[in-house]
Chain A
Amino acid sequence: MIRFRSVVSRIVALHIAAIVVASICMPMALYLMLRSAAGHLHERALREQAAEVSRHIRIGPDGRARLSLPTTLSEFYSGAYGRAAFSVLDTQGRVLFTSLPGGQAVAPLHPTGSPVEFFTLHRKGGDVAAATIAEEVGGRILYVQVSEDLAHRDVLIDDIVAQFFPKVGWITGPILLLLLLIDVVIFRRAMQPIVDASSLAEKIGPNRTGLRLPQASMPREVEPLVHAVNQALDRLEEGYLAQREFTADAAHELRTPLAILRTQVDMIDDRELAEALRNDVESMSRLVNQLLEMAELEAFVIGDDEIADLGAVASEIAAYIAPLALARGKTVAVTEPRRPVRVRGNSDALGRAVRNLVENALAHTAPDTSVEIVVDPSGALLVMDHGPGVPVAARDHIFRRFWRGDRRRSGSAGLGLAIVARIAEMHGATVTIGDRPGGGAVFTIRFPTLVSAPPAATAQLEPAA
């Protein structure tokens, strides 16, 4: 069975079926009604003819019946005319009078001898409608039979019946179709609020949780559903807000004590002790930051229209991290194409990913080396170092949370690369690890698509190279 997903097409289909049935049945019924009405009229005509004939029968004093038809009638029944015939029979079935040649009756008398009988005779020239009607003439019962050739009848009603279909019957179809059209229009108008609500609902997302479907304009039948959907959205929004609030609260609760601790350590006079404590506070802060970052990313959503320029992201992060790198005797460098490399995504989140990659590289490289960020015009961002590289066996699980290449080494919390993986996943991007020719690791974040720059705006920014 065909199932229609659209209510409109379902209604149209059912309506068409109804139209087909109606446009067959209605004319048929009308035709049958007309035919039966025509039949009745025929019977009445035959009956009247019989009565007319019987009116001209006289019973003589000798008890014999005598028939004297006026000329008009005798012409009507004459054999030359051939359309109509009559015969008069007595109760025994003897033919008293007849218009037919050879003295025969129109039909043999029916044995039941019912007072009125209509029947059809099948003759060579075509069907003949006939009637046997008992008439009382001068106290005697006579059976008057009249017949009429159906092939030649000239009655108006027959024309009506015969022309009903071609002239009248077709009108029902268009009328019903027009009705269908009106129905569709009515239905579409009724559905419009739902269509509007649907396009509104499309805009609802984790970053636009405040939107609600309009309830007032809804048809009453749909309102409970809309109401329920809005309530579900309320609950979802609460959940999102709770998650965001948790991250903000946790940040405050964790960072303030750390700040106190850090400031206290800064004021310790014993330089050696202060330095050791500072390192501890710093690695703890780092872990707290990464945990919060991870939690924040769980509730983080990239807007549909957010676009990030990979070059800008790379420069910003490089500038941010350069003092740290220089403090460790290392440098950072950025190589980017002249034109912006734009991808769908959130610059803040992508910056965190790059920062974590660069921090990871700085943690694994020797002094006097540089970490390079390369923006590839095909939509990729590479972080390259001169460290020991990542063994092939470790490349699969290096992005797991708290995974550490070297168990004995302390400090690195092992969340950084998991954050990178999560951010890449959010952007539909892939992170791969490769070897750098001449030694070192290459981390590549590759984005699925580039966003073409708006022509006028960037043309002006483009330096004349």
Chain B
Amino acid sequence: MRLLLVEDNERFAALLRRGLAAAGFVIDLLPTAEEAIAALRANRFEIVVLDLGLPDADGLEVLNDMRSRRDATPVLILTARGSLKDRITGLGSGADDYLVKPFALEELVARLRALLRRPGNLLGVALELGDVTLDTSARQVFVGGQPLFFSPREIAVLEHLLRRSGRVVSKGLLESNLYGLSQEIGSNAVEVYVHRLRKRLAEVGASVQIHTLRGVGYLIAEKR
């Protein structure tokens, strides 16, 4: 998995390189925006980790250059600026995700994997969490290697949860993804699917759990 890391702080870059290499990424490291732009124009990377505070330019310029060339390579922004306004600027200009420094290396790896799992990206075929695997093309769920039968709508719900595992998926988002805007939906349809998924997963002793956060949404995570 070829990853471009744009980070000017040598020590931090070296540490990230080591950590990401351990997670299976192949890393190219560049310290300036100018070099990053040149490299991105000449090569193909699977994913880009971009620091915003670069010595020669704002990291967003690298992103702008990519998006203006219709380069859709996923970009994760690293920023020391924590205010939401900065995040909005980052995401609005075409970043796929961001992390505010300091962050856990584990979190960075998880976010990168999540970005690569997105539809159209490399890891799109199998979604894994704990002992649960979802083959997104065969629409088949396995728990501990054993196939488990679910309805297509239940699998769709599980897929959305797994794609954002460890993070909250709002009920509204599930509803709008399960049904077209025009379709009539029962107010508790999603609740019914989640309830059934949770019950079946518990029956077979899966190592993951679907949490319901009332008024907020659902979150799938490994059992503690």
Contacts and interface: CB of A to CB of B under 8 A. Distances in A.
A267 B219 contact: no
B102 A315 contact: no
Which size bracket describes the interface of A in this complex?
35 or more
Q: Looking at chain A's contact residues, is the secondary structure mostly helix, strand, loop, or mixed?
A: helix
A264 B167 CA distance: 25
A235 interface: no
A160 interface: no
Interface stretch (B29-37, B89-97, B103-111, B122-130): B103-111
A326 B214 contact: no
B15 A267 contact: yes
B84 A348 contact: yes
A260 B12 contact: yes
A373 B166 CA distance: 21
A323 B221 contact: yes
**Max chain B Cβ within 10 angstroms of own Cβ: one of A258, A267, A296, A319:** A319
A314 B217 CA distance: 12
B85 A263 contact: no
Contacts of B170: 315, 319
A333 B216 contact: yes
B9 A322 contact: no
Interface stretch (A42-50, A90-98, A248-256, A420-428): A248-256
B168 interface: yes
Given A255-B80, A315-B170, A322-B168, A281 B15 contact: no
Nearest to A292: B82
A322 B211 CA distance: 10
A368 to B, nearest CB: 12
Nearest to A349: B84
A149 interface: no
A336 interface: yes
Contacts of B214: 331, 333-335
B101 interface: yes
Given A267-B15, A326-B221, A252 B104 contact: no
Given A251-B80, A266-B19, A319 B216 contact: yes
Interface in B174-224: 211, 213-217, 219, 221, 224
A222 interface: no
B40 interface: no
A373 B214 CA distance: 10
B101 A315 contact: no
A438 B9 CA distance: 52
Given A252-B53, A255-B80, A256-B9, A262 B103 contact: yes
5 contacts: A248-B81, A251-B81, A252-B53, A259-B101, A320-B168
Interface of A: 248, 251-252, 254-256, 258-264, 266-267, 278, 281, 285, 289, 292-293, 296, 314-315, 318-320, 322-323, 326-327, 329, 331-336, 347-348, 351, 373
